[in-house]
Structure formats: structure tokens, C-alpha cells
Amino acid sequence: MNGINTLAYFTGPLFTSYIGLTELVSHILSGALFTFQLMGSFVAYGLIDRLGRRKLMLISSAGMGTFMLGFCISISQTPAKSAAIAASVFVFLFTFSFPVGFLGPPFLYATEIAPLAYRVHINAVSTATTWAFNFLIAEVTPTAVNNIHWRYYLIFAIINLCIIVPVIYFFFPETAARPLEEIDEIFMNSKNMFEVVPIARRLQTREVSEGTNVLGKDEVEYIEHSA
């Protein structure tokens, strides 16, 4: 529901009908768009353990919301040439932001927070839900765009900025560099859903002060012992 499939499945009509570009330029940009997305995947690959899952998802959703908002403003001004250029840029920036935090990390996160006995089931539900919404968006988008035009994309800007970002910030604890037993401890010590993130932060602060569970610590110790 972050809006990626409103762009992914309809790049041709998006560039020609809604942004106002020529058919040739539309084909070129459509071919380049998801090649450009690959660069965002490399960002996630390099930072998912350094920054953590939570920060990447926050950065990604905030970026997608901001760029989708810019896209909405731009296409509401077409057929101005400058607005068409701006809209195209925002489409590329949005597409780049998506894999940073939402192409792979949510599936990884779902397995990390799940109890061992239910991990397969939870992962199956998360994957099935993703594809169910993909199907829904693919069916709804053409009709919605024809009726409410650029305002349809505004819905996804609002979802990203006003729903996804707050939900991640207040309810998603960091799981990077945490053993599964420790993740269980976070949830077991939480009396309600609002305590999960604060408890995870306190636990992480304690571990850093004690020098335990720090990223790269095992590698350093191994080198020291080998020497």
C-alpha cells in the first residue's frame, strides 16, 4: 500500500497520458525506471545491518511519501513542460526509495519478530498479503485514475507519511544484530504495544554500554584470538 504498484504496472500510460510525454520518451523512461530501482536495492544490501531494518524502513517510507506528494503536485500542473520533467524525476526518486526499505526488509523483518513455532505461518501470511494488495492495486488503479486523476496518487503519499511512518516509528523495534531469544524478551517484557520500541531501545543502550551484541564485535574478537 505504499504506492509502488500504481507506478510499476502502469508506467506507459503514466508517462504518456498523465505526465504528457511522447510515446518514444515514455518507452525509454519505462525501460530505465526499474533498472534505476536496482541501485536502491544495493543501498539496502549495504546498509541493512549497519543502519538496521527500522531506520531503512523509516527512510524509505518517508522518501516515498515525500516524492509521491511532489509527483501529485507536478502532474496536477501538466501539460506544462517543467511540471512534466519534475513529475518524471519524482517517479524515479520514488522508485529508487522503494527497495531501500520495502523490497526485501519487510519479509526479513517478519521472520525475525515471529516466534519460532509460527515463523513459517507468519511469513506465509505476510507474503500472501503483499500479493493480495498487489492484485487489488492493479485492478483499482485504472478506474481510480480515470475518475479522480492525480488525487489517487495523493492517497499513497498520505498513507506513507501519516500511517506507515508513524506505525514503524512507534511499534517496530529494531531487530538487527539481535538473537531471536532477545527479540522474544523484548515482546515478553512489553505490557502493551506502545512499550515494545522503548524496551528495545533501553536494551540496546544497555548492551552497548556493556559491550555486548555490538555489530562487528564477534569479528574483532575472532581476529584478536587468532593473533
Domain segments of the chain as ranges: 4-175, 186-226
Each residue's pLDDT expressed in tens, for the chain with a length of 227 residues = 899 999 888 888 888 887 888 889 888 998 899 889 999 999 999 999 999 999 999 999 999 999 999 999 998 876 678 888 899 999 999 999 999 999 999 999 998 998 888 889 988 998 999 999 999 999 999 999 999 999 999 999 999 999 999 999 999 999 998 988 889 889 999 999 999 999 999 887 666 556 555 444 444 444 444 44
- The arrangement of secondary structure in 4-175, i.e. its CATH architecture, is Up-down Bundle (1.20)
pTM of the model: 0.85
Give, to the nearest 10 degrees, the angle between helix 151-158 and helix 119-148. 150
Using CA of residue 81, residue 85, residue 87, residue 91, what is the dihedral sign?
A: positive
The residue type at 136:
L
Confidence at residue 66, expressed as pLDDT on a 0 to 100 scale: 98
